Amino acid sequence: MPATIPLQDSVVYGPVQSRRLGASLGINLLPLTRKVCSSNCVYCQYGWTEPADASGEGLRRAPELLEEIAAAFQAHAAAGTRVDHITLAGNGEPTLHPDLPELVEGLRRLRDVSFPAARLGILTDATQVRRPRVREALARLDDRYLKFDAADPATWQRINLPLVRLSFDDFVDALKAVPGSILQSMFIQGTYDNTGEAHVAAWIRAVGEIRPLAVQVYTVDRGTAAEGITEVPRAELETIATRLTWMTGVPAEVFD
């Protein structure tokens, strides 16, 4: 497995050729010099979430960010860049930004001018969706990709290491409250493993209760924060996805 990747060094980056989203133009609302996240997932491609440093780079507010995003969109549009998707992701958890609703509205306007055919979405660990302003912002996006890797509190704590005060039951209830979501479920093996029969069966039951539009089943393809994590063979991912759809009716697609 290769090493973890560097943090994004700009507000707009890519387009990244995404396994799931096509040519995805990334939007990083977070600092360029440090990761800001509400989770500490063992498989994170950016490495571990370090404790906040009071002397570190702070969050830039919506007007400044949107000005920079507008300039980047204009440059990409003038160059004829192919953009299938515009994705809020970046150096950690985008829903932590206090101006998220204003930023989403600004991105909608800029998208409509420069890339009207592109969909606007977010990749989130979903730990913040219980907050009204976050749900307000998510509702204005085309696509909401919510992380759901674990079906019980112990596995969630072990693999996702949430850094917020949130019970697992409240986390699942928050997922249920987001309409039109797509779950992204990372399966891993090696030093950490969520592919055991008991856990997969519980995960299928939980997804059936959440009732998302669909589930994207995938595994690691880059370096990870923790050592010894290995990818799950595609055949095993296909089996998990097929079982999910057969038992719950929720569509599932595999990416390896």
Q: What are 229's strand-pairing partners?
A: 190
Residue 183 has pLDDT above 70, yes or no: yes
Q: What is the pLDDT of residue 56?
A: 62
Burial 182-217 (b: 16+ CB within 10 A, else e): bbbbbbbbbebbbbeeebbebbbebbeebebeebbb
Tokens at residue 110, please? 């800029």
Average pLDDT over every residue of 8-28? 91
Amino acid sitting at position 60: R
pLDDT band (50, 70, 90) for residue 21: confident
Residue 153 has pLDDT above 70, yes or no: yes
Which contiguous run of DSSP H or E holds residue 110?
helix 100-114
Q: What is the pLDDT of residue 108?
A: 98
Average pLDDT over every residue of 51-71? 85
Q: Which segment of 55-59, 98-102, 121-125, 227-231 scores lowest on mean pLDDT?
A: 55-59
85 burial level (CB within 10 Å; 0-12, 13-18, 19+): buried
Q: How far is CA 71 from CA 74, 153, 162, 223, 242, in A?
A: 5, 44, 35, 32, 44
- Give CA–CA dist 173/235, Å, rounded: 31
> Residue 251, by phi and psi: left (phi above 0), alpha (psi -120 to 50) or beta?
beta
Q: What is the pLDDT of residue 1?
A: 55
* 91 Cβ contact partners less than 8 Å away, ≥ 6 residues apart: 7, 8, 28, 30, 31, 32, 34, 35, 36, 46
More confident residue, 5 or 3: 5
User: Using one digit for the tens of pLDDT, what is the confidence trace for 154-171?
Assistant: 999 999 999 999 999 999
User: Using one digit for the tens of pLDDT, what is the confidence trace for 126-140?
Assistant: 999 999 999 999 999
pTM score, two decimals? 0.94
Q: What are 146's strand-pairing partners?
A: 124, 183
176 in Cβ contact with 211 (< 8 Å):
yes
Alpha-carbon torsion, ordered 86, 12, 99, 63, to 10 deg: -120
More confident residue, 180 or 19: 180
- Domains, in order of start, for the chain: 12-255 (3.20.20.70)
79 in Cβ contact with 115 (< 8 Å):
no
Q: How far is CA 84 from CA 30, 119, 126, 183, in A?
A: 22, 7, 23, 20
Residue 54 has pLDDT above 80, yes or no: no
Q: What is the pLDDT of residue 55?
A: 47
Average pLDDT over every residue of 83-103? 97
- Give CA–CA dist 99/104, Å, rounded: 9
Q: Which segment of 12-21, 103-112, 120-129 scores lowest on mean pLDDT?
A: 12-21
